Amino acid sequence: MTGNKTKAIDIAQQRRQRLTGIALMCGAVALFACLDTTAKYLNTHMDAMQITWARYTSAFVLTLFVSNPFTHTGLLRTARPKLQIIRSLLLLVATVGNFLALRWLQLDEVLSIIFTFPFIVAVASGPLLGEWIGWRRWSAICVGFGGVLLITRPGFGGMHPAALFSLAATVSYGFYAVITRIVSRVDSNQTSLFYSNFIGALVMLPVIPFVWTTPENWAIALMLVGIGVLGSAGHFLLIAGHRIAPAAVLSPFVYTQLIWVVILGYLVFDHVPNGWTMAGAAIVISSGLYLLYRERKLGKTTTSEGVVE
């Protein structure tokens, strides 16, 4: 009886941890949706490069108060310094592409394209991780990219050139996610987050004199700081969620971000998703969920990095 009672307690505890992890994941993607909404609004007041600089610089300064080389002596120590630099630069490129796309495209359009990053991960995992995919997942990838064609509709007057920025961001983020899998085997999440923010802020610093626009008012200035806060808080919740729940359980809830961007897009910009975008998004999400299902069934590690922030 005691053994059964202990097992029941363990099962209940695992269930609570999974539900808490899911709640943290949903909170993280909600913050990321707010970040994208803020970035899109700021795009009407300044250059996307300045927004990118603010996102990384404010996030770097903020995280220093929580995690820095003085309070965490091993923070700067990495077993794969070159990969950390490449990984951070890929995330920076993805962020720039995402913010540039947001200048012209609706929130739901950009996010629906970004949601194809698991397909890039699946394709790149073969040569980089030795995790080759079978015909079922290749089929899901092809179907998923068919969903992207529905969203962009190239050749039918529906594709805005800015969609290319979003596609470039997706490819960069996909490779970023694969390299993150590699460095996560030897480096802590805090170390990886530190390098991402530091390198992003460092690379963008020389660009600022050429694109700087003084904020029109305190509200705009606070938004510039706020995007870094939203990004850091979102990644904090993401990391916390993965500490207590398996990635395979959390990954499907990344797609709840689409709900938030549809709501925020309507409330802030009066944008209503068109039928093509919703149909394409449904195909992309369905294909992505199938990929997650296959990875879970095959017992492979699934990462859930969120979307480009």
Following CA atoms 237, 177, 94, 209 in sequence, which dihedral angle do they give, to the nearest 10 degrees?
A: 70
Q: What backbone phi and psi angles, to 5 degrees, belong to 215?
A: -55, 140
**Cα 64 to the center of its chain, rounded Å:** 21
Q: What pLDDT is stored for residue 53 in this prediction? A: 96
Amino acid at site 68: N
CA dihedral sign, ordered 219, 112, 243, 17: positive
Cα 266 to Cα 210: distance, rounded to the nearest angstrom: 33
Q: What pLDDT is stored for residue 172 in this prediction? A: 94
Looking at residue 74, what DSSP letter applies? Answer: T
Cα 309 to Cα 306: distance, rounded to the nearest angstrom: 8
Cα 103 to Cα 44: distance, rounded to the nearest angstrom: 7
Nearest CA to 296 among 250, 256, 244, 253?
Answer: 250
Can you read off the two tokens belonging to residue 290? 């199938």
Q: Where are the domains of the chain?
A: 20-298
Q: What pLDDT is stored for residue 303 in this prediction? A: 46
Q: What pLDDT is stored for residue 212 in this prediction? A: 94
Q: What pLDDT is stored for residue 307 in this prediction? A: 54
Sequence length of the chain is: 309
Cα 223 to Cα 197: distance, rounded to the nearest angstrom: 18
Between helix 117-129 and helix 275-298 the angle, nearest 10°, is: 30
Q: What pLDDT is stored for residue 285 in this prediction? A: 83
Q: What pLDDT is stored for residue 300 in this prediction? A: 53
Q: What pLDDT is stored for residue 159 in this prediction? A: 65
Cα 188 to Cα 198: distance, rounded to the nearest angstrom: 16
pLDDT in tens, the chain (309 residues): 566 666 666 667 777 888 888 889 889 989 999 999 999 999 999 999 999 999 999 999 988 887 777 777 778 888 889 999 999 999 999 999 999 999 999 898 888 888 888 888 878 877 777 777 777 777 877 887 788 777 776 655 556 788 899 999 999 988 988 888 888 888 888 888 889 999 999 999 999 999 999 999 999 999 999 999 998 888 888 878 877 877 767 777 888 888 899 899 999 999 988 887 888 888 888 887 887 777 666 665 444 444 556
- Which pTM does this prediction carry? 0.84
SS3 of residue 112 by DSSP:
helix
CA distances from 98 to 15, 72, 156 (A): 36, 32, 23
What is the chain's Cα-based Rg? 20
Cα 134 to Cα 4: distance, rounded to the nearest angstrom: 40
Please answer whether residues 42 and 227 qualify as being in contact, where contact means their C-beta atoms are separated by less than 8 angstroms. Answer: yes
Residues 7, 12, 13, CA angle at the centre, nearest 5°?
A: 95
Q: What pLDDT is stored for residue 49 in this prediction? A: 96
